[in-house]
Homo-oligomer: A and B are copies of this chain.
């Protein structure tokens, strides 16, 4: 039995997700966390981390995502439905509080928040066998940034070329501008090996984007990178409003069902499950590598528990 520990193929091995993404292969399951609020003291942060990992360990995840939140005041002239709460830095939260998590972690960096030297120092220090990063550009071209996405990509290539890099994919932008697939291919040129979507409520928009992306990959002779499609439950109309504020396209029929539901959270859960099953079937039929990412948008306990339940049910739909 001792020989198995060094094997690549043992389920849950820390290398699994990273090797899979390097090989352009699906079907993986991720769970995305937002770190606790910045004001959280060290002991409480550890309690939250321990409780979170205890919830997530039985799910058979392939990895975690840690989001990097910013105020995004440039996003939208409309008032933010929930007040902005700065959170612990996801890299710090990982280093200080998630040490017992053995599987790969994808840490987001909103690059505009950091000076080039800060980014370089952080990127250099990361272990490519355990960590991947998604570098996120500014939400609008008018945002004030300390480092541009292009510069951040260059820094990653110099500072830690083996550190696997991902990018954000926004189907809604493709609906508006028809060029998101070309932006993704440009990110791939800059080193990206996987993409993570924002929360998907518009399956048609997601299909349009990956369809254009895959046919363009074929035309250019490029191997397609796996997409992780993000799903989330929504327990109230306020959460839905927040998703819209974040730029998530919510079809009318979904909004109608949520608005009239006797149990909004359960209705949303069933919608997410149906949408995920639809995208899984779509990608499989076309041999497009994909994964699923489950995110808890809200910090309400019932919504977190429903997200965990969603991840467990989606695990059953994936071939690992």
Hey, which bits of chain A sit against chain B, CB under 8 A? Answer: 202-204, 207-208, 210-212, 215, 218, 251-253, 256-257, 260, 274, 278, 281, 286
Chain A interface, DSSP helix/strand/loop, else mixed: helix
User: A203-B204, A210-B253 provided; 19 other pairs, C-beta below 8 A?
Assistant: A202-B204, A204-B251, A204-B253, A207-B251, A208-B251, A208-B252, A208-B253, A211-B252, A211-B253, A211-B256, A211-B257, A212-B252, A212-B256, A215-B256, A215-B260, A218-B260, A257-B286, A274-B281, A278-B278
With the chains together, A212 CA to B256 CA distance in Å? 7
With the chains together, A256 CA to B217 CA distance in Å? 13
With the chains together, A80 CA to B212 CA distance in Å? 27
**Smallest CB gap from A270: residue in B:** B285
Shortest Cβ gap from A15 to chain B (Å): 34
Say whether A207 contacts B253, CB under 8 Å: yes
Question: Which of A202, A215, A218, A281 has the largest count of B CB atoms less than 10 A from its CB?
Answer: A215
With the chains together, A211 CA to B258 CA distance in Å? 11
**Smallest CB gap from A207: residue in B:** B253
24 intermolecular pairs with C-beta atoms under 8 Å apart:
A202-B204, A203-B204, A204-B204, A204-B251, A204-B253, A207-B251, A207-B253, A208-B251, A208-B252, A208-B253, A210-B253, A211-B252, A211-B253, A211-B256, A211-B257, A212-B252, A212-B253, A212-B256, A215-B256, A215-B260, A218-B260, A257-B286, A274-B281, A278-B278
With the chains together, A274 CA to B203 CA distance in Å? 14
With the chains together, A278 CA to B253 CA distance in Å? 14
With the chains together, A287 CA to B206 CA distance in Å? 27
**Smallest CB gap from A218: residue in B:** B260
With the chains together, A286 CA to B257 CA distance in Å? 9
With the chains together, A281 CA to B281 CA distance in Å? 15
With the chains together, A203 CA to B260 CA distance in Å? 21
**Smallest CB gap from A202: residue in B:** B204
Shortest Cβ gap from A76 to chain B (Å): 22
Q: What residues of chain B lie closer than 8 Å to A274, measured between beta carbons?
A: 281
Question: Which of A204, A218, A278 has the largest count of B CB atoms less than 10 A from its CB?
Answer: A204
Shortest Cβ gap from A237 to chain B (Å): 15
Shortest Cβ gap from A203 to chain B (Å): 7
With the chains together, A306 CA to B210 CA distance in Å? 28
**Smallest CB gap from A174: residue in B:** B252
**Smallest CB gap from A252: residue in B:** B208
With the chains together, A230 CA to B253 CA distance in Å? 19
